[in-house]
Structure 1
Amino acid sequence: MRIRWWIGATSVAAAVLLAGCSSGDDGGGSTGSATDEQAAVAPQGAAPADKAEGGQAGAPIEFRQDDRAIIYTGSIAVRVDDVEQAATRATSIASGAGGFVGGDKRSSDDSYTQATLTLRVAADKFAGVVDELAKLGEQERRDINTEDVTEEALDLDARIATQRARVDSGRRLLAQAKTLSDLVMLESELAKREADLASLEAKKRRIDDLTALSTITVELLGPGATIPEDDDDATGFLAGLKGGWKALTATFVLLVTVLGALLPWMIAIGVPALGGVWLYRRLRRPRPST
């Protein structure tokens, strides 16, 4: 009886142990199968997620249109009935766009009146301001130019950062100087580094100003005013005659200028030289025998 009970207890314990091992094998198998599924889904040779994200950090930077540094410049000629009134209106347009008048040149004659205004406006309002200026009267000419200086701006930023580090290093070395000769040498080197840094920062401020504020030159023409012609585009007999006359007058002015510069030397050197030659010939002249 006892033997039967012992055999039964042993069988139950063995069954419990086998069930536990079976459940552990199932859990490990499920983990392995999940890993196999991830490997099957991922492309062959693909890096893990964390490595892939790290790889994106070294990818080339792509700039959006808003990130680029672009200089906008333009000129427009508009014929108006009243130049003074149109100039006041153009000033108001620039002020309304957050800009200002950088230059104002006006001329008037019996037959015509003309004004040339240089306006500085925000870059994002450049096109709208040009269109509003064209509505002041009859547009005669429009010239728009853009210059992308993104790479130059980034290069200046990098050079400024490097130069600032050099200045800081020079200041630390100057604070640790022990001898007078080291102090003088380090002060000279630090002054040079600070001057280079100031020059780079000035260039960067200039680029920032040109990219932040666009320049528009508006020429307001009265009813009798004429648009000045570009000499480079002028051709024909009259253009050639005009160019030849300018060359002749320029040459004549150059010769007169050179003569005026040499005349004092000719008087200062020529008069004594002529006197010497006259005296020399007089002394060599044979005297009459007595």
Structure 2
Amino acid sequence: MRTLTLLSLLALAACADDPASFADATYDPVSMAEAPESTVDLAGADLDEASAEADETAARAPSAPPLSDAAFASRLLRRSADLRVSTETHDETLRTARAVAARYGGMVSGEDGSAHDGGSAMTTLTLRVPSDRFDAALDALAALGTVESRAVTVDDVTAQVVDVEARLRAKRAAEARYIGFVAQASSVSEMLEVQARLDAVRAEIESMESQARALRGGVTLATIRATIVGPATVAPLPPAPGLFARAADAIAVGWHGVLAVVFGLLPLWPLAVLGTVGYAVWRRLSPRVAV
């Protein structure tokens, strides 16, 4: 009997994973521990019925009217921008851009420097500034040189934040229920089952907390990626060589030509030896002509 009751309580705690069903039910460890099996089953049925009714009500709900200015101002907006600026003084402009982040209460979270195709220096700064000072900081960076490109992105993450926080509250309620069930376990197997579910819920809570922090962090601090491009640098031409340098180069070229001829004829020396010996034999064996 106690085992069946505990299993029913575990099934009821699992309903807390659904924010809609969690909103329609409360938990009392004492009353649930003393409740008979029929009461526990009825409570679970009531939760399922309440969840189904909430889903049906949400499906029949009319669409939301357009947001007013005040309602839009309360939305959670994640803002970012990509800016490309060319300047004649790359290093000085780079120092000024870093100062802009500090001036508007932000920070430089990343910096990447490289050489442009034309030989000019190019550095990309990633700035994080408060969202309410985003426009002012972006304008200050754009004023540092000639704007080549500028793009602003605004993402409404209100629904994501609300959804994550609602699921987080449900998971925390489930965690509290499982903690209460640990004391009611009558055997090692029951305790291990409850502990396994408790560990799984806590892992989900940590993941959701990290997701919620990331979403709200993106709303609190806007991101600006500013690329600063310096002037193209042209390499100077090497000086023309003098008279003696040209003469030395000519001698070196001639000497290399002689060596090339010598080394080119070396493979033919066996033929030269054979030809010389053959000519000598022919002269010795040929009859002499009397004069």
**TM-score normalized by structure 2?**
0.54
Question: In the alignment, does 2:90 pair up with 1:75?
Answer: no
Give me the whole-angstrom Cα distance separating, in 1, the residues matched to 2:183 and 2:102.
50
Give me the whole-angstrom Cα distance separating, in 2, the residues matched to 1:111 and 1:189.
60
Shift of 1:106: 1.4
2:168 paired residue number: 160
Give me the whole-angstrom Cα distance separating, in 2, the residues matched to 1:176 and 1:212.
44
2:191 paired residue number: 183
The answer for unaligned runs of 5 or more in structure 2 is 1-61, 234-291
2:90–2:231 CA contact under 8 A, matched in 1? no
2:214 paired residue number: 206
Give the counterpart letter for 2:167 in structure 1. Answer: R
Kindly provide the CA deviation profile for residues 169-215 of structure 1, in whole angstroms up to 9, marking residues without a partner as x.
Answer: 01111122221111111110100111111111111111011111111
Deviant stretches of 4+, over 3 Å: 59-63, 108-111
Question: In the alignment, does 2:111 pair up with 1:111?
Answer: no
Give me the whole-angstrom Cα distance separating, in 2, the residues matched to 1:188 and 1:160.
19
Give me the whole-angstrom Cα distance separating, in 1, the residues matched to 2:226 and 2:133.
16
Shift of 1:98: 1.2
Kindly provide the CA deviation profile for residues 235-275 of structure 1, in whole angstroms up to 9, marking residues without a partner as x.
Answer: xxxxxxxxxxxxxxxxxxxxxxxxxxxxxxxxxxxxxxxxx
Give me the whole-angstrom Cα distance separating, in 2, the residues matched to 1:193 and 1:173.
14
Give the counterpart letter for 1:212 in structure 2. Answer: T
Kindly provide the CA deviation profile for residues 134-175 of structure 1, in whole angstroms up to 9, marking residues without a partner as x.
Answer: 100111110111110111111111111111100010111112
Give me the whole-angstrom Cα distance separating, in 2, the residues matched to 1:64 and 1:90.
34
Give the counterpart letter for 2:186 in structure 1. Answer: K
**TM-score normalized by structure 1?**
0.54
Question: In the alignment, does 2:147 pair up with 1:133?
Answer: no
Shift of 1:108: 4.3
1:278 paired residue number: none
The answer for unaligned runs of 5 or more in structure 1 is 1-58, 226-290
Size of the aligned set, in residue pairs, is 168
Match for residue 149 of structure 1 among 147, 157, 161? 157
Give me the whole-angstrom Cα distance separating, in 2, the residues matched to 1:174 and 1:67.
42
User: How large is the RMSD of aligned CA atoms in angstroms?
Assistant: 2.3
2:130 paired residue number: 122
